[in-house]
Structure formats: C-alpha cells, structure tokens
Amino acid sequence: MLTTRIIPVLLLRNRGLYKGIQFKNHTYVGDPINTVKIFNDKEVDEIVVLDIEATVKNKPIDFEYLEEVVSEAFMPIGYGGGIKTIEDAKRIFSIGVEKVILNTQAFKTPELVSELSKKFGAQSVVVSLDVKKTLLGSFVYIKNGTEKTSYKPLEAAKLMESFGAGEIIINDIDKDGTRTGYNLSYIQEISKSVKIPVIVCGGAATVEDFVKAKQAGAHACAAGAMFVYHGPHRAVLISYPKYEELRKSLGE
C-alpha cells in the first residue's frame, strides 16, 4: 500500500454516478456498482462516495443502496451526504463504511464532530472543506457548494481539528472537474498548521499532480474526473494508474 493514498471520488445522485464541473452541470457517467467493481479489479486502496443531493434536498440517506455499493467493494469506503446524527453514523458504520465525511453538519452542529470522534474514533471522522475564492478571499461553502460560510479554509481546518476530526479534505470548488491541476496553496498553508492528515481534491489530471500535492504537504490525493473521463472530449472510461507507476512517481 502506498504511503500517499490515491482516492477515487464517486458522486451519487438517485443511485447513479455523476460528475460535474465546479459543483455544477452534473452529467450521468454510469452505474456506481459497476464502477466499484472496476476499481476492485484495478486494486484501488480506498474510495470516497458522496451523495450530492442528500443535504441540499434534505433527502434521507439511502442506506439500502449504500449497503449494495459497500457489499461490492473490496476496499475501504468513506461516505458523505445527509449525515446529521450519531444514529446516522452508527448505521453507516454497521453496513461496512469505514469513515463518515461531514461538510454541512460539521458547521451547523460542530459538536457532532466531537461526539462522533469520541464514540467511533477520530480516524473514522473526516470533515470536507469545500473551498471557493471570492473577491474577499477564499471561504468554506456548505450544502454542496451553494451556501457560503464565514470561515476561511485555514480557520475551518484548525477548528475541525480541535473538535476531533481525524482527517480534512480540501475540496477546491473552482478546480472541481477542470483537470487543470490542484490548487497547492491551500495544502501548503493548511498542512503546516494542523497535525491531522490533509487530503486534496479538485483538479487532478495526471500522476504528476499527485506528486506535486505530496510535495506541498498532502497526505492523500482524491480525484473524480481523472478516473472517469478520458481525452479532451470527456469520453467516459473508468481508469486508475497502475500501482507500480504510482509507487515510482511518488518515490514510495
């Protein structure tokens, strides 16, 4: 297993797999379960599954379908979307998910982060900071990028660490789906200031982007478009770099 984890991110909507650009214009790209099976064959170490409608539309967590997805996966799964309570998390863990990922609720009721960390262990609790630039600087957004908070990324990362988060995902809304490379400034700033692992997401196009992110301080690299699209015309093709290529490029 690599020291620097390389994590595909699957976006769910109505039991379909979707991909957007800058958190908008999501298009259907395939069946999540078939995609998980392909990632099994490619020996992916870990995946993240996010329901992009659960919180925005106040929909209940689709536990039944999530269990179907998890039952097909040979690798650890992190899940986010619609998690509001300890009971939600308990049920998610009971079907085989290893990490819960919070965004909106982490800022609405940050004590939930503490409660989950104490009950299930900090290693099981991840907070995703969806970050977007504005004229007044970069801020964290919630509700799938539709609602701006007053938190700057570094401030939010420190706060969530203090509440007991075991990992932070820095998800760059401006870079999402663009395949133009990660915004490394967020990683450089935050990884120096918190003790917990920092995951970068948004913009990856090549293995070289993973290398640059690692050098900037990222503990793991997540990506969506890079693993589901091929070529300039965005043809759908589920892919993942070969282990030896990653190991050699990352110096591991």
Q: What is the mean pLDDT of residues 147-156?
A: 98
Q: What is the pLDDT of residue 202?
A: 97
Q: What is the pLDDT of residue 207?
A: 97
Are the CB atoms for 103 and 130 separated by under 8 Å?
A: yes
Over residues 187-241, the pLDDT tens digits come to 999 999 999 999 999 999 999 999 999 999 999 999 999 999 987 778 899 999 9
Q: What is the pLDDT of residue 246?
A: 94
CA distances 210 to 24, 27, 48, 214, Å, are 24, 25, 17, 6
CA distances 143 to 57, 106, 120, 171, Å, are 9, 11, 24, 13
Q: What is the pLDDT of residue 234?
A: 83
CA of residue 31 relative to chain centroid, distance: 19
Instruction: Enumerate the active-site residues.
Output: 130
CA distance 166 to 222: 16
Q: How many residues does the chain have?
A: 252
Q: What is the pLDDT of residue 129?
A: 98
Full set of structural domains in the chain with CATH: 5-250 (3.20.20.70)
Q: What is the pTM of this model?
A: 0.96
3-state secondary structure of 224: coil
* Listed residue (77, 91, 81) closest to 33, CA to CA: 77
Count of CB atoms within 10 A of residue 8's CB? Answer: 25
- Across the chain, mean pLDDT equals 96
Query: Is the pLDDT assigned to residue 1 strictly greater than 80?
Result: no
% of the chain with per-residue pLDDT over 90: 96
Q: What is the pLDDT of residue 133?
A: 97
% of the chain with per-residue pLDDT over 70: 100
Q: What is the pLDDT of residue 192?
A: 96
Q: Which ranges of 42-173 would DSSP assign to H, the alpha helix?
A: 63-72, 86-94, 104-108, 111-120, 153-163
Over residues 42-87, the pLDDT tens digits come to 999 899 999 999 999 999 999 999 999 999 999 999 999 999 999 9
Query: Is the pLDDT assigned to residue 2 strictly greater than 90?
Result: no
Q: What is the mean pLDDT of residues 139-148?
A: 96
Q: Which ranges of 42-152 would DSSP assign to H, the alpha helix?
A: 63-72, 86-94, 104-108, 111-120
Q: What is the pLDDT of residue 230?
A: 85
